[in-house]
Structure formats: structure tokens, C-alpha cells
């Protein structure tokens, strides 16, 4: 299953035995690169979503077409390094969703013109970037039953692989003020599975 995000915080409902993964929403990046051999670190709090592959993975058989998205927030650290004044790469980790799932994103950015973050000169800037990321969610429980005791135990997982790109244009009016806007889009591939775990019994004669 593929999901396209265009500058939106997306997202999912969580059931009693839901199978979900937290995914970041597309967002506009700063047009400034750190500068040649400069390294910046910080933290982010961005719109994200909990993608649910099913509201009840304990159904027999599990229905992985009952998908949903709900609003969420993703928090985590990031670091960006400038190879040159124009070219930089970044790594970002995010935690969020009902199960505090983990997501990792790598990014590369090229700044066509304008001052770097280290220079902070007044004037316009233009940058483009691409990013790749992945995250995983797992869950387990007992299958839903109508009569008798609990059903067979089950285990499920869902993985998100993301690819995105965007561009931003900005203007630094002073050392402390940078205004920017742009466009960004991400594509998410979210395969999932839920399997029954056979119960083993033995008898002694």
C-alpha cells in the first residue's frame, strides 16, 4: 500500500488490537545549509501520523484492509553537516504515536544561492532536498473468539519506507530572522502482516 503526503499532518484510529506505525508528515525545510565543515544539532517537534493497518489484528482472519490515519506528534533530535557551503546532509530520529515507535530519516540538501546558517547574511536563499526514511511497528495479542476461552496468540508487524523531496525559498532580514516557504511531498510504502502462532500441547502417558 502506498500513501502520498503533501504538506499535511496525516493519520489513524487505534483499536484494541491495532497494528500501527508512526510516520512523519511532509514538511518544508529551512533553505539554509550549515556552511562548509559546519555541524548543527537540535530537536524537532513536527506533525506526524499513526498509520493503522487494521483496527483489530486479532480477527480470524485478520483484516488488513481496515486502514486509518490519525493526527500525532513526532519528537526527536537531528544533526546536519555541511560538506561545502552549498551541500549538506542530515540525520533525524523521531519518536511518537501511541506506542512511541521509532522512525529514522536521512536527508541531503543543496543550496543554490544565499548565505549559509553560519554566515547569517541578509538576502534571499533557495534550496532543494531529498530524504529517505524507515520505521517499524509490532504488536501481538490473542485472536478474537466467539465461544470458549481465548484464541490462538498472534503477532504482527508493519514497516514504513519513505522517500520525499522538496524545495524552499527564503529571505533573511536580519541575523535573527529568517522567513521561508516552499513545497514538499513524501511517498510512503507500508506493507504489513499478522500471523497466528500455533499453541503447542503435550500429554504424558
Q: What is the pLDDT of residue 133?
A: 87
Helix-, strand-, coil-residue percentages of the chain, each rounded to 5: 0, 60, 40
pLDDT, residue 51, reads 67
Would you state the pLDDT for residue 135? 79
Kindly report the pTM of this predicted structure. 0.68
DSSP-derived 3-state class of residue 112: strand
**Cα 17–Cα 18–Cα 23 angle in degrees, nearest 5:** 155
Q: Supply φ then ψ for residue 71, to 5 degrees.
A: -65, 145
**What pLDDT does residue 122 have?**
94
How would you class 56 by CB atoms within 10 Å of its CB: exposed for 0-12, middle for 13-18, buried for 19 or more? middle
Residues 6+ positions from 104 with CB-CB distance below 8 Å:
91, 92, 93, 94, 133, 134, 135
- Count CB-CB contacts under 10 A for residue 45: 11
Following CA atoms 25, 26, 31, 33 in sequence, which dihedral angle do they give, to the nearest 10 degrees?
60
pLDDT reported for residue 18:
60
Residue ranges of the chain whose pLDDT lies below 50: 1-16, 146-148, 200-205
Q: Would you state the cell numbers that stand for residue 83, as one nine-digit string?
A: 560538506
**CA triple 137-6-173, angle to 5 deg:** 115
Amino acid at each position: 500500500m502506498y500513501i502520498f503526503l503533501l504538506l499535511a499532518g496525516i493519520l489513524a484510529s487505534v483499536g484494541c488490537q491495532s497494528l500501527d506505525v508512526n510516520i512523519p508528515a511532509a514538511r518544508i525545510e529551512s533553505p539554509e545549509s550549515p556552511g562548509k565543515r559546519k555541524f548543527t544539532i537540535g530537536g524537532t517537534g513536527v506533525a506526524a501520523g499513526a498509520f493503522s493497518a487494521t483496527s483489530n489484528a486479532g480477527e480470524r482472519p485478520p483484516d488488513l484492509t481496515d486502514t486509518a490515519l490519525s493526527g500525532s506528534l513526532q519528537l526527536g533530535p537531528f544533526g546536519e553537516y555541511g560538506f561545502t557551503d552549498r551541500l549538506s546532509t542530515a540525520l533525524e530520529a523521531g519518536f511518537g504515536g501511541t506506542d512511541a515507535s521509532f522512525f529514522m530519516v536521512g536527508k541531503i540538501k543543496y543550496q543554490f544561492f544565499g548565505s549559509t546558517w553560519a554566515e547569517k547574511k541578509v538576502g534571499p536563499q533557495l534550496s532543494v532536498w531529498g530524504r529517505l526514511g524507515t520505521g517499524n511497528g509490532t504488536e501481538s495479542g490473542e485472536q478474537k473468539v466467539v465461544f470458549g476461552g481465548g484464541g490462538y496468540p498472534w503477532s504482527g508487524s508493519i514497516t514504513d519506507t519513505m522517500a520525499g523531496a522538496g524545495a524552499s525559498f527564503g529571505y533573511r532580514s536580519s541575523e535573527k530572522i529568517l522567513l521561508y516557504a516552499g513545497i514538499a511531498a513524501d511517498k510512503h510504502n507500508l506493507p504489513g502482516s499478522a500471523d497466528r502462532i500455533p499453541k503447542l500441547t503435550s500429554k504424558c502417558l
